[in-house]
Amino acid sequence: MLLYLRVLKESFFFALNALRNNKLRTFLSLLGVTIGIFSIIAVLAAVDSLEREVKGSLSSLDNSTVILMKYSFGATDIPQWKREQFPNVSYDEYQHLTRSVPDVEASTFAQGVPDESIKYKDITSTGVSVMPITSGFYDIEEFEISEGRFFNESESASGASVIVMGYEIANNLFENTNPLGKQVRMYGRRLTVIGVLEKQGSGLFGNSRDGQVMVPVNLTRRIFGDNNKSIFAQIILKPEDGVDNDEFLAVVEQQLRNYRGLKPDEVSTFFVNQVQGFADTIDVITGQLNVIGLIISGFSLLVGGFGIANIMFVSVKERTNLIGIQKSLGAKNRFILSQFLFEAIILSVIGGLIGLFFVWLISLIASQFTGDFEFVLSPTNIFIGTAVSAIIGLISGIIPAISASRLDPVEAIRTGM
């Protein structure tokens, strides 16, 4: 064991000497490994960060939450022309499901409406994301209210002229003034501010609540109607804990099919989506991105492997005399083999660490330009980068190391002279 530690130490110094004495040659040879590791880890880090961001935006919803609408979260066998004919889910259907589906902990009806402008006195916020929902949404998604309150069931049912604002919108309109009780203008109406959401910070996709406002859905239903093609609707149901997932989904689908009068041989004219299903789809997509990135990066590593092999062949040639002396003094073939293998691995790992350093540097810079979205170089990715570097060094150095270990000591000394 001590012998191999000594070999490792000597190999490390040989690798440093190669870097010091032949800077340009070694740099060019290591460049392939550096670029390859940079490419692989950059892809893995970017995909991991993207996955973390998307799933983070879903973390406020329970994975068992069911979303019914005319669109599907994932792939479907139903052709597009047929899906385009699906009607929106309706408020009446929401009320029916709330009454008829057992084991529902919370439910809400939401509309997707165009962005709107909000005005307070002479200050206007444009392009504001409006989220019309029922009061039950407060029991489905986890969010905090820093000031005031959320609208209650009575205000929700009547479509009261009240509004709950995201932090950014409230700050833009009221700055240091308390917004509660103030009236703003939206949709040509006066709406009373009753609550402000806790600051969340923005993500890569701008999916934060900071730039949103929430209003009772029955308010926008009076404005847009239920058959407006510029909007879409969704029914969100959160089942109670411990409920059988498949059975719950089957009951929900059957109840809505019955309400719409669909025959057994007819396809459902809606989709029963689940947050867990969307998370699974994200896993599939990120997995595919990782595979594509690894394949592309593999070509860089192939070039890097040839570079390491080139260094080692040159190193064997330069140290032929030394190898002959070592073998004449009793050095075993496995000692010489280990020496050159360790040197190849160390050189490759150095190239990989340089690649990891550049990934870390770029991740820091990128995070400064993407708001609260953070590119993260995880310990797992660092380990993968280092391990791949070592494997490339092992594979690239094995042929030069074998050729060095098989040198005849007399011929090696004579060649070296």
Answer whether residue 389 is part of any domain.
Answer: yes
User: Computed from CA positions of residues 326, 327, 333, 337, in that sequence, does the dihedral angle turn out positive or negative?
Assistant: positive
Q: What's the pLDDT at 108?
A: 92
Residues 233 and 130 in one domain: yes
Residues 155 and 39 in one domain: no
Residues 264 and 330 in one domain: no
User: Computed from CA positions of residues 386, 391, 396, 402, in that sequence, does the dihedral angle turn out positive or negative?
Assistant: positive
Which residues form the domain of 19? Answer: 2-57+281-416
Decide which of 269, 304, 325 is a domain's last residue: 269
Residues 294 and 261 in one domain: no
Residues 30 and 107 in one domain: no
- The domain total for the chain is 2
The upper half-sphere exposure of residue 126, i.e. CA atoms within 13 Å in the direction of its Cβ, equals 1
Answer whether residue 316 is part of any domain.
Answer: yes
Answer whether residue 65 is part of any domain.
Answer: no
Q: How far apart are CA 375 and CA 45, in angstroms?
A: 7
Residues 102 and 245 in one domain: yes
Residues 27 and 92 in one domain: no
Q: Which DSSP string corresponds to 171-225? A: HHHHTTS--TT-EEEETTEEEEEEEEEPP----TT---GGGEEEEEHHHHHHHH-
Q: What's the pLDDT at 213?
A: 93
- Residues of the chain with pLDDT below 50 are 59, 204-206
Longest dimension (CA), the chain: 100
Decide which of 234, 269, 304 is a domain's last residue: 269
Answer whether residue 81 is part of any domain.
Answer: no
Residues 141 and 22 in one domain: no
- Two tokens at 339? 């020496």
Residues 48 and 196 in one domain: no
Q: What's the pLDDT at 19?
A: 60
Residues 155 and 11 in one domain: no
Answer whether residue 265 is part of any domain.
Answer: yes
Determine contact, residues 376/45, Cβ cutoff 8 Å: yes
Determine contact, residues 221/189, Cβ cutoff 8 Å: no
Residues facing residue 107 across a β-bridge:
237
Residues 95 and 121 in one domain: yes
For the chain, the C-alpha Rg in angstroms (whole number) is: 32
Q: Please name the residue that has the structure tokens 């860089």.
A: 300
Decide which of 269, 291, 307 is a domain's last residue: 269
Residues 99 and 43 in one domain: no
